[in-house]
Amino acid sequence: MKEIIAVIRMNKMNQTKQALAEAGVASFTARKVVGRGKGKVDYLLLRGAQSGCEEAISQLGPGPKLIPKRLLNIVVSDELAAPVVRTIIAVNQTGHPGDGKIFVAPILEAVRIRTGQRGDTAIDETAA
Amino acid sequence: MLMIRAIIRPEKSPEVLAALLEAGFPAVTKMDVYGRGRQRGMRVGEVTYDELPKELLMIVVHDDDKDFVVDVIAKTSRSGPEGAYGDGKIFVSPIEEVYTVRTGGRDDIPSAASAALTTES
C-alpha cells in the first residue's frame, strides 16, 4: 500500500475530486494547509542583508508568504499509485510555479474499522 | 527522500520558519493540529487541557540533509536553553517518490531519468 500526499492549489480541488473519482479512487482525506515552496528566495540578497548592506535590507521583505493550499492524503494499493499520481499531475498542471508537490510514502497496515478487515482489502473500494 | 514532521509550539513557528529559510530549506507546509503528549495534557488549577494546540511542519528533504534540518528545527523550537515540556516532537519517515506537478517529472532521481519517465507516460 502507498500513501499519496499531494499539495495542490485551492481552486483545483473540485476538478481533482472529479478526476480521482473517475480514476476509481473516490476516498481520500483533504485539509487546508499553508506553505511555501522554494521560489522567491534570493540568497545573494539575503547574504547581503546579513552582512549589513543597506540596499539589500531595504529590498528584503518579511520573507516569502505562506500560501494557502489543499493537502490530500490518498491511500491506495501499490498498482493504483502510479495512475493516481498521473491523474493528479494531469489535472493540476498549469505550468506556473505553485502547482504543488506529490509525495509517495509506504503504508504498512490499513484497517477498515467497520468490519475489521486489514491490508489491501480494507482500502479496496470495489469490495462490498 | 525523507519526510520530516515537526510538532512545535505555535508561537515558535515564525522563528523556526525563518531559521529554515536562512538554512536554505524554504519549502515547508504548515498546519494547525491538536494533541497531547506523555504528560497527558496540561493541568491549570482544576482544569485539565488534554488537547493542546500545536503546529505541524512538514518538510521533505534528501537523506543527507536530514540531520541538519532536524538539528535546525530542534535548536530553534526549544524554549530556553534547557527546553520545557510541550516543546514538541520531530518524526522522520521515508518517502519513495517525489513529483513536481508543474513539470510532471520526478524530483528524487536525476533529471535524465525523470525526463524519460515523463515522455513515456
ipTM of the complex: 0.81
Q: Which residues pair with B5 in a beta bridge?
A: B58, B91
A103's enclosing H/E stretch is: strand A101-106
Place of cell 538554512: B23
Find the domain containing B29 and state its range: 2-120
pLDDT in tens, A36-83: 887 655 666 667 777 777 776 666 655 667 888 999 999 999 999 999
Which of A12, A101, A107, A108 to mutate to test binding with chain B, by most B CBs within 10 Å of its CB?
A: A101
pLDDT tens per residue across all 121 residues of chain B: 999 999 999 999 999 998 998 888 989 999 999 999 888 888 888 988 889 999 999 999 999 999 999 999 999 999 988 889 999 999 999 999 999 999 888 887 765 555 555 554 4
CATH number at residue B101: 3.30.70.120
Number of residues assigned to chain A: 128
Bigger pLDDT: A44 vs A103? A103
Find the domain containing A105 and state its range: 2-37+66-123
Residue A55 lies in a domain: no
Residue A99 lies in a domain: yes
- Which residue among A8, A33, A63 sits closest to B21, beta carbon to beta carbon? A63
CATH number at residue A113: 3.30.70.120
Residue A29 lies in a domain: yes
User: Angle CA(A98)–CA(B34)–CA(A4) in degrees, nearest 5?
Assistant: 40
Residue A52 lies in a domain: no
Q: Is B29 on the interface with A (CB under 8 A)?
A: yes
Residue A44 lies in a domain: no
Number of domains in chain A: 1
- Residue A118 CB-half CA count within 13 A: 2
Cell triple for residue B110?
536525476
pTM score, whole prediction: 0.81
Place of cell 517525489: B98
Coil, strand or helix at B57: strand
As a whole number, mean pLDDT of residues A17-29 equals: 91
Place of cell 511542519: B57
- Measured between beta carbons, which residues in chain A are less than 8 angstroms from residue B3? 5, 103, 105
Residue A60 lies in a domain: no
Number of domains in chain B: 1
- Are B27 and A36 in contact by the 8 Å Cβ rule? The answer is yes
As a whole number, mean pLDDT of residues A87-115 equals: 92
Cell triple for residue A109?
497496515
Distances (CA, A) of B49 to A60, B38, B39, B85: 40, 13, 11, 14
d(CA A63, CA A46): 10
Mean pLDDT value across chain A: 86
